């Protein structure tokens, strides 16, 4: 990787490729969070390759990257032991008409890692695993309602969840009505929900923690007690927390065992593998050792393909050899401390801050009135991109070095000097290259443009 900040970087080829992607792929990307609308206009790099904590775009620009494949990469891009394991597995064939040895090896490894689970079934994405948990809970309880934590942003691409978001077009009202919500760290809100829908809630689904919210003392234990008393199935979404909070997941860290848990993202260091795990009496409803009506749980052609499972096994081995979570937390604290010190030195600590769990941090951007601001977020992203830092967040990996972090902190300090100028002016007008970024899940496609200060 080049050591230069490349302050004169251009995006000509990325712009052309992004335009072509919009012609061929709805939204111009295969994940809404990867869309060009999430980046400053004309500054959405198309990536050519990655190496450790760095990526290079098609214009030849290098960046220190954060977000790391939407939190899926914890060991670094092109991490050699994982790549080698995947390559070796592929040489022997990847998909067969019967279970392979990879399925047994991966299941044994996973269940030794997640001590509260008796059985596991692998898939390719978190949405499929999470929707399977909902189906299993409904089958086990005979109930129809799903209770989700309202403050947790995403659980599945499927109707039962997406119907509760801004992007609800195409979802029947009957599906939306079957999902109800409660508040994180508010046990009373869940108790009230159970009282409002007696005997109807099949499962309670939540992340045990998020990057910006830790469980209050007794909260998770209280949810567990309510599940035991009421009979609903408790499901932890470990898609993000698994491998970032602990190799044993958030459930291992906080000591509360769910009935089911869903895993993905960092399980394969970016390779496609996800998992649904849980208690035998629930999981067997989708198996052959049951007298109950069978649940069509997960039955995917590519779920057990060898390369994804080989990637997971290599990741598990890497976590045994070194404490990747501890490295991410140490580097994350260094980044947050440096960035927040830069903001404080400029007198804008109330307007810009890096917050959250050190292994899964975000930055907060507020305008001159202290309100969360997409315009000020865009300005910060714009200036960071120009200085060689790519990321919608500061989600880190174990591949980030102290030098990467220190360079990032330097870039933050420089970017915030323009941020200060906008705060003093009370506006980003004249400082942005185009329209501001927009929330990924929103009702209408067109982002709002910043009015031209000249009135055009």
Q: Show which of 273, 306, 321 is a domain's final residue.
A: 321
Same domain, 220 and 231: yes
Same domain, 104 and 186: yes
Please report which confidence band the pLDDT of residue 2 belongs to, taking 50, 70 and 90 as the band edges. very low
Same domain, 193 and 292: yes
Q: Show which of 273, 304, 321 is a domain's final residue.
A: 321
Residue 101 lies in a domain: yes
Does 442 score more than 90 pLDDT?
no
Same domain, 239 and 274: yes
Same domain, 244 and 352: no
254-307 pLDDT per residue, tens: 999 999 999 999 999 999 999 999 999 999 999 989 888 889 898 999 999 999
The pLDDT, as a whole number, for residue 444 is 79
Predicted TM-score (pTM) of this structure? 0.93
Q: What percent of the chain is predicted at pLDDT more than 70?
A: 96
Residue 452 lies in a domain: no
Same domain, 271 and 413: no
Same domain, 291 and 149: yes
Q: Show which of 280, 301, 321 is a domain's final residue.
A: 321
Residue 148 lies in a domain: yes
The pLDDT, as a whole number, for residue 32 is 85
373-403 pLDDT per residue, tens: 999 999 999 999 999 999 999 999 999 999 9
Q: Which domain holds residue 418?
A: 12-60+323-425
Same domain, 317 and 332: no
Same domain, 360 and 338: yes
The pLDDT, as a whole number, for residue 456 is 27
Same domain, 285 and 187: yes
Same domain, 225 and 366: no
Secondary structure in 3-state letters for the chain:
CCCCCCCCCCCHHHHHHHHHHHHHCHHHCCCHHHCHHHCCCCCCCCEEEEEECEEEECCCCEEEECCHHHHCCCCCECCHHHHHHHHHHHCCCCCCCCCCHHHHHHHHHHHHHCCCCCEEEEECCHHHHHHHHHHHHHHHHCCCEEEEECCCCCCCCCHHHHCCCCCCCCCCHHHHCCEEEECCCCHHHHHHHHHHCCCCEEEEEECCCECCECCCCCHHHHHHHHHHHHCCEEEEECCCCECCCECCHHHHHHCCCCCEEEECHHHHCCCCCEEEEECHHHHHHHCCCCCCCCCCCCCCCCCCCHHHHHHHHHHHHHHHHCCHHHHHHHHHHHHHHHHHHHHHHCCCCCCEEEECCCCCEEEEEECCCCCECHHHHHHHHHHHHHCCEECCCECCCCCCCHHHHHHHHHHHHHHHHHHHHHHHHCCCCCCCCCCCCCCCCCCCCCCCCCCCCCCC
Q: What percent of the chain is predicted at pLDDT more than 90?
A: 85
Does 62 score more than 50 pLDDT?
yes
Query: For 23-27, 88-92, 162-166, which range has the lowest pLDDT when averaged over its residues?
Result: 162-166
Split into its structural domains, the chain has a count of 2
What mean pLDDT value characterizes the chain? 94
Query: For 161-165, 342-346, 364-368, which range has the lowest pLDDT when averaged over its residues?
Result: 161-165
Residue 340 lies in a domain: yes
Query: For 211-220, 415-424, 439-448, which range has the lowest pLDDT when averaged over its residues?
Result: 439-448
Q: Which has the higher per-residue pLDDT, 450 or 249?
A: 249
330-344 pLDDT per residue, tens: 999 999 999 999 999
Please report which confidence band the pLDDT of residue 453 belongs to, taking 50, 70 and 90 as the band edges. very low
105-116 pLDDT per residue, tens: 999 999 999 999
Same domain, 316 and 350: no
Q: What is the CATH number of the domain that holds 16?
A: 3.90.1150.10
Q: What is the CATH number of the domain that holds 308?
A: 3.40.640.10
Residue 1 lies in a domain: no
Residue 254 lies in a domain: yes
């Amino acid at each position: 990787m080049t050591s230069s900040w490349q302050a004169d970087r251009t995006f000509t080829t990325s712009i052309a490729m992004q335009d072509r992607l919009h012609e061929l792929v709805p939204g111009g990307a295969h994940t809404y969070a990867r869309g060009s609308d999430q980046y400053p206009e004309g500054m959405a790099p198309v990536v050519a390759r990655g190496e450790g904590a760095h990526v290079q775009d098609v214009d030849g620009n290098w960046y220190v990257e954060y977000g790391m494949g939407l939190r899926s990469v914890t060991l670094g891009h092109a991490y050699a032991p994982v790549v080698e394991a995947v390559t070796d597995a592929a040489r022997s064939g990847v998909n067969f008409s019967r279970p392979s040895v990879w399925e047994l090896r991966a299941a044994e490894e996973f269940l030794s890692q997640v001590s509260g689970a008796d059985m596991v079934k692998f898939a390719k994405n978190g949405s499929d695993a999470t929707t399977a948990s909902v189906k299993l809970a409904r089958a086990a309880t005979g109930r129809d309602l799903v209770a989700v934590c309202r403050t947790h942003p995403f659980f599945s691409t499927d109707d039962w969840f997406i119907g509760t978001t801004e992007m609800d077009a195409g979802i029947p009202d009957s599906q939306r009505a079957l999902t109800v919500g409660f508040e994180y760290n508010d046990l009373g809100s869940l108790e009230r929900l159970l009282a409002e829908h007696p005997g109807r809630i099949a499962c309670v689904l939540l992340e045990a923690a998020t990057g910006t919210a830790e469980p209050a003392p007794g909260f998770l234990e209280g949810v567990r007690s309510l599940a035991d008393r009421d009979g609903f199935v408790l499901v932890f979404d470990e898609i993000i927390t698994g491998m970032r909070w602990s190799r044993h997941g958030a459930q291992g860290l906080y000591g509360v065992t769910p009935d089911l848990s869903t895993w993905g993202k960092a399980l394969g260091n970016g390779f496609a593998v996800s998992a649904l795990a849980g208690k035998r009496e629930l999981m067997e409803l989708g198996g052959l050792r049951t007298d109950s009506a069978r649940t069509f749980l997960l039955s995917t052609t590519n779920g057990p393909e060898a390369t994804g499972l080989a990637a997971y096994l290599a990741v598990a081995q890497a976590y045994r050899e070194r404490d990747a979570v501890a490295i991410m937390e140490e580097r994350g604290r260094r980044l947050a401390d440096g960035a927040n010190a830069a903001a404080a030195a400029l007198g804008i600590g109330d307007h810009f801050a890096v917050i959250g769990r050190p292994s899964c941090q975000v930055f907060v951007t507020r305008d001159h009135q202290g309100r969360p601001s997409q315009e000020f977020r865009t300005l910060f992203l714009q200036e960071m991109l120009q200085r060689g830092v790519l990321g919608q967040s500061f989600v880190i990996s174990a591949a980030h070095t102290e030098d990467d972090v220190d360079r990032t902190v330097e870039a933050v300090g420089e970017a915030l000097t323009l941020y200060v100028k906008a705060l003093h002016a009370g506006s980003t007008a004249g400082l942005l290259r185009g329209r501001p970024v927009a929330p990924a899940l929103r009702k209408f496609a067109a982002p709002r443009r910043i009015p031209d200060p000249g009135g055009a």
